[in-house]
Structure 1
Amino acid sequence: MDFGRLITAMITPFNSDLKIDWDGFAKVFDYLIEEQESDSLVICGTTGESPTLTEEEKLQLFEAAVKRAKGRCKIIAGTGSNDTAHSIHLSQAAEKLGVDALLLAAPYYNRPSQEGLYQHFKAVAESVSIPVILYNVPSRSVVNIDADTTVRLSHIPNIVATKDCAGTDQLTRIVSGAAEDFLVYSGDDSSALPALSVGAHGIVSVASHVVGKEMKRMIEAYSSGNVKAAAQLHAQLLPVFSGLFTFPSPAPVKHALALKGLPAGGVRLPLLPATEDEGRFIASLFQ
């Protein structure tokens, strides 16, 4: 399955009561596809505030996304957790709702061994028939899916890609050792272009909520051999890439969307919305 080169980890819009804003969800969903040129959307990833969404809300969001997509993009459901049994349960439920693929984050807090990680992902992948994308984010999960483990997992038939935030050295080892047709995505906007240079296929992005078109041009420029143009675009976009993570995500990108008149809403505790100073800083990124 081709997920494209630009995948957006979509926010979850909330209303003033911090309930899901379903009209807002539809507007942001269409905007990401039609205006920001996302090829696929991750629903209920970390940027979608998955830690504070209930299981019922997640299933509702998966179902709404599948119905809204109508073939315009692939829907990737965030169903991973640090409980293998629950990850299997949620993954099977998401599959029944018609999602195109699953995104499985590395189990957090309980810090499994590399063999534990392998067995976790293997068990979840073998419980479904749809494609699985691994998600390695050591800064959040406090465990790294080592390159050798990812390479080993790439030989499980329906584990087809990874979103990896561990840096270009690890990406290089994965690209060079993984099974044929296994796709590698950077999970760090600032590393999108360097990741492409070592063989990554694309980016799973937060910044693409607001600069997706520009990121698409950067990827296309690099892919067509115009490295200088890609580097220029990367330099122009870097302040946005960095600025959207100066305080806990997704509050910065939600504020940026609100500045564009889109219904992003606030964030649920323990996250906090942008302060006045933070809001002014986010606004300055687009002036």
Structure 2
Amino acid sequence: MADLKGINLAMQTPFNDDGSINHKIYEELIEKYIDAGVHGLVLGAGTGQHPYLTETECNNLYELGAKRIDGRCKIICQTSALNVDEVVRRSQHAEGIGADALMILPPYFEGPSDDDGLVAFYGEIDAAISIDIVGYNIPQATGISVSTDLLKRLVELKNFNYIKDSAGDLTVHQEYLQITDGVLNGADTTTIYSLLAGTKGVIWGGANYMPREAVALYELVTANKYAEAFALWRRMLPSLLFIWRTHYTPSVLRASQLRGYGTGNVRKPLAKLGADEDRELQRALESLSA
């Protein structure tokens, strides 16, 4: 079982103005994030616009990323797809290039929503690979909530050792922690509270634009320096509230660009923030410079 504690940064995919991937900046970002002290990088994350990348593009990013990372932090690759055979194929490729874990959404579009169907889905993938599966609870995007009863069944699978919880419900999050210690927080605005509850690590999109602050927050909480942690959290929170309540990925990418990380470009069908939203984002980021 891979140790996914700490800050696993859900990494952006840098795009050029025409929507093509800028691999040079991608490699530069990996260096910047590792230099900031992140414990892991999630390649092809939702923040990296995984739904709008082809399988070939993902595979190329993962190969390039694994070579550049070269064991300096953990590698989590998203291998989600609607077709189970494709998930297996993507997963085996990611395992083959050195991924430590795989992040896999439930089959979110008119797929099975019953527990038996979801267990069968993950079970088929589990049988085809030998590294950790990070399941994904993000009902606001998939329409599927992973219940505690379902999680109890999933963690019985050989490789289903983690679940990323992006729902933002701290009650359910703490219920998950009663079932497994392999819980990773994915809701930006609850990060400090999930760490205080005992969550060992996070998969964090907002860390794209404040990687050093994200690592510092984790270190302060784990060192029991709570007053300092909350002082830092108060500086982080305005922008986190903004990205969580606005257009998430365009907001994260624009915030990253403003703070020296990436191009700020999105790939269609996503669009950049409007002028008013952009000004509001810039105001929300001011506290990070205070």
Q: Does 1:220 align with 2:219?
A: yes
Instruction: Give, in whole Å, the separation in 2 of the partners of 1:34 and 1:24.
Output: 15
**Aligned equivalent of 1:101:** 101
3-state SS of paired residue (2:285): coil
**Aligned equivalent of 1:191:** 190
Instruction: Give, in whole Å, the separation in 1 of the partners of 2:78 and 2:154.
Output: 18
**AA matched with 1:170:** V
Cα deviation, residue 21, structure 1: 0.3
Whether the 8 Å contact between 2:4 and 2:201 is mirrored in structure 1 is no
Unaligned runs of 5+ in 1: none
Whether the 8 Å contact between 1:134 and 1:159 is mirrored in structure 2 is yes
Cα deviation, residue 47, structure 1: 0.7
Unaligned runs of 5+ in 2: none
Whether the 8 Å contact between 2:188 and 2:244 is mirrored in structure 1 is no
**AA matched with 1:162:** I
Instruction: Give, in whole Å, the separation in 2 of the partners of 1:63 and 1:82.
Output: 22
3-state SS of paired residue (1:245): helix
Cα deviation, residue 265, structure 1: 4.1
Deviations 1:2-25 (A, max 9, x none): 123101110100112111101110
Q: Does 1:134 align with 2:118?
A: no
**AA matched with 2:190:** S
Whether the 8 Å contact between 2:76 and 2:99 is mirrored in structure 1 is yes
Instruction: Give, in whole Å, the separation in 2 of the partners of 1:245 and 1:164.
Output: 15
**Aligned equivalent of 1:235:** 234
Instruction: Give, in whole Å, the separation in 1 of the partners of 2:256 and 2:174.
Output: 34
3-state SS of paired residue (2:75): strand
Cα deviation, residue 237, structure 1: 1.4
RMSD between aligned alpha carbons? 1.6
Whether the 8 Å contact between 1:189 and 1:203 is mirrored in structure 2 is no
TM-score (normalizing by structure 2): 0.92
**AA matched with 2:123:** K
Map 1:138-287 → 2, pairs under 5 A: 138-166=139-167, 167-178=169-180, 182-287=181-286
TM-score (normalizing by structure 1): 0.93
Deviations 1:87-137 (A, max 9, x none): 112111222222221001122122521221111112112210111111110
Instruction: Give, in whole Å, the separation in 1 of the partners of 2:171 and 2:51.
Output: 29
**Aligned equivalent of 1:85:** 85
Cα deviation, residue 284, structure 1: 1.6
3-state SS of paired residue (2:64): helix
**Aligned equivalent of 2:47:** 47
**Aligned equivalent of 1:114:** 115
3-state SS of paired residue (1:16): coil
**Aligned equivalent of 1:17:** 18
Instruction: Give, in whole Å, the separation in 1 of the partners of 2:198 and 2:124.
Output: 28
Deviations 1:66-106 (A, max 9, x none): 00101111111100223222211211122222222100112
